[in-house]
Amino acid sequence: MEHISTPKVENVKLLDRYANRKAASGTLYLTATHLIYVDASAEVRKETWILHHHISSVEKLPLTTAGYPLLIHCKNFHVAHFVIGQERDCHDVFTSLLKLSQPVKPEELYAFSYNPKMSKESREMGWKLIDLRLDYQRMGIPNDSWEITDINKDYEVCSTYPPEIVVPRAASRAVVMGSSRFRSRGRIPVLSYLYKENNAALCRCSQPLAGFSARCLEDEQMLQAIREANPGCPFMYVVDTRPKLNAMANRAAGKGYENEDNYENIRFKFIGIENIHVMRSSLQKLLEVCEMKSPSMSDFLTGLENSGWLRHIKAVMDAGVFLAKAVREERASVLVHCSDGWDRTAQVCSLASLLLDPFYRTFKGFMVLIEKEWIAMGHKFSHRCGHLDGDPKEVSPVFTQFVECVWQLMQQFPCSFEFSERFLLEIHDHVYSCQFGNFLGTCHKDREELRIFEKTHSLWPFLLQRKQELRNPLYRGFTAYKELQPNTLPFSFQFWCGMYNRFDKGMHPKQCVLDQLLSCTSQKVTLEDNASQLENKLPLLDGPLPSKGCTSPRAGAAAAKASPAPQDCAGGAAPGLSNGPSLGHQKHKESPAQPQDPREDGQAQQQG
């Protein structure tokens, strides 16, 4: 609270970019964790909550006749445009938000103060909910060819890998240690996914320290062990996800890529996904297009094309499709890397796994996938998401791109995923919210040193509690679709309004089919329960009661009275839009004038 000089400002206007209506007028509060705006002009109390950690930039705009504008951009693509009456108040809020949104120490992050009133045992059970060993066992590991080893328990092999890794059983300790010295940051080839149908393996690592001529016998033996673990194919692919020009530049710096002459029976391939700096710039251009107030169709489409965003999404998707096809159809093992193996490598390995295995398209499976390919394998969430005040050049929407690729798949295969778009948005929001410990730090060692598992809560049990509202009503079950083979021609990719314009109410359709279906399904269950209760209350007449499949007219009428008919989304009480905000939404509730500090809430606070 020491950063807050003015905790409350009255007569603050909140502008709406798209709706042609009078600006809201209300009170702005600053708490230790949130900016909270209470709309005083609404008949029903409306609150807009913005978590400090979600704020990416705060900008003071030139003075207008209405007052002093303050423009807030958030990492979950919420844009809030406030107008404050007094210059001093505007300056105080501005300086407070700059400090509150850019904590310097990890201990200042929300997760370390968030208290959902949960017992120590429940918190510990939450962290044990996802067990990666069980996922490897599901793949049939350990087996004759692969083993789970704790060779990295003291982080001797690699400081950014987890203590337990999966490597070929034929690879000795000497081979593992020798390979680690030849790979950037010690990130040796390890198993990502084993396709049980043909024993083809998907493995990942970082670039070799090959330069123009260096070689390493142990690294060559490691790749040979991976290839020989799959006797069904005489060769293996080595895939570099970088553009060839970038990889050659790294070679000049003593790094680079594998020389096919030095490795036996490998087929080398470049994919060409751009680096984190290109992706950061592309997203910025996309958001500029999203924020155009009244663009013509030509302006919007030109801006979208010039941003290159969907082109990059297609590149990531193409890479995932190539890996899945190589494993499934060519029965070949594949080794994937980029530079350090924690950005593009995580994207394509997790995407390929999702295409190959329907388990990863369930609630639990998707959580396992993120834990395995992103969290455990050292994606630098803290740097890429800008959790702390640091180098802005390290920030990049790597995980956002993966989430969007999953959404693009959901558009092509709407019955293949157990979860809905909202589930993806919830996860994406909490990657930036820092409310839970899962995405803090840069690797497992980092999280151990921060004592994440002792001091914070895991996100996954909180999401599973909300499974009913986050599920996909069109899901046809685990066995309906085995492998997915998406179309990656340009016309197959859509602009994701639900992500990038989620908080712009005026842009959303009046109805959402999936929400209507979910609402009807839920209402059907309610009606059936009501009918059953009414049947039990009926006195025994001449004969036995009708069966459940044939409800009496009286019970049916009573049930219809007990539960109101579905309402159209264009009307009043309708379910939220699927591309509407699930976090940071406007809350409609009766509550005291002074908002309560969310750290004391008994539930997971929904952020904006």
What is the set of active-site residues?
338
Q: Which amino acid is at 295?
A: P
Interatomic CA distance for residues 437 and 431, integer angstroms:
9
Token pair listed for 174: 């000497």
CA nearest neighbour of 34 among 84, 98, 101:
101
The CB density around residue 449, as the number of other CB atoms within 10 Å, is: 11
Helix (H) or strand (E) holding 318: helix 309-328
Helix (H) or strand (E) holding 245: helix 244-252
CA nearest neighbour of 216 among 265, 247, 178:
178
Cβ density class 166-198: b for 16+ within 10 Å, e for less: bbbbbbeeebbebbbebbbbbbbbbbbbbbeeb
Q: Which residues contact 180 (CB under 8 A, 6 or more apart)?
A: 157, 158, 186, 187, 188
The CB density around residue 5, as the number of other CB atoms within 10 Å, is: 13
Interatomic CA distance for residues 423 and 130, integer angstroms:
17
Whether residue 435 contacts residue 51, with contact meaning beta carbons closer than 8 Å, is answered with: yes
Token pair listed for 92: 């105080």
Cβ density class 339-353: b for 16+ within 10 Å, e for less: bbbbbbbbbbbbbbb
Q: Is 128 helix (H, G, I), strand (E, B) or coil?
A: coil
| Angstrom distances, CA of residue 103 to CA of 53, 110, 388 | 8, 10, 5
Interatomic CA distance for residues 48 and 54, integer angstroms:
13
Token pair listed for 206: 């970082």
Cα four-point dihedral sign 235, 241, 246, 250: negative
Give strand ranges (E) for 426-541: none
Classify residue 25 by its DSSP letter. E
Q: Which amino acid is at 442?
A: T
- Cα 494 to its chain centre, rounded Å, is 18
Axis crossing angle, helix 398-412 with helix 309-328, rounded to the nearest 10: 70
Q: Which long-range contacts (C-beta less than 8 Å, at least 24 apart) are formed by 477-481? A: 478/358, 478/359, 478/362, 479/358, 480/415, 480/416, 481/358, 481/413, 481/415, 481/416
Interatomic CA distance for residues 331 and 324, integer angstroms:
10
Interatomic CA distance for residues 114 and 160, integer angstroms:
27
Whether residue 356 contacts residue 349, with contact meaning beta carbons closer than 8 Å, is answered with: no
CA nearest neighbour of 443 among 337, 371, 354, 345:
371
Considering all CA atoms of the chain, what is the largest pairwise distance in Å, rounded to the nearest integer?
A: 95
Query: Going by DSSP bridges, is the β-strand pair 200-204/333-337 parallel, antiparallel, or unpaired?
Result: parallel
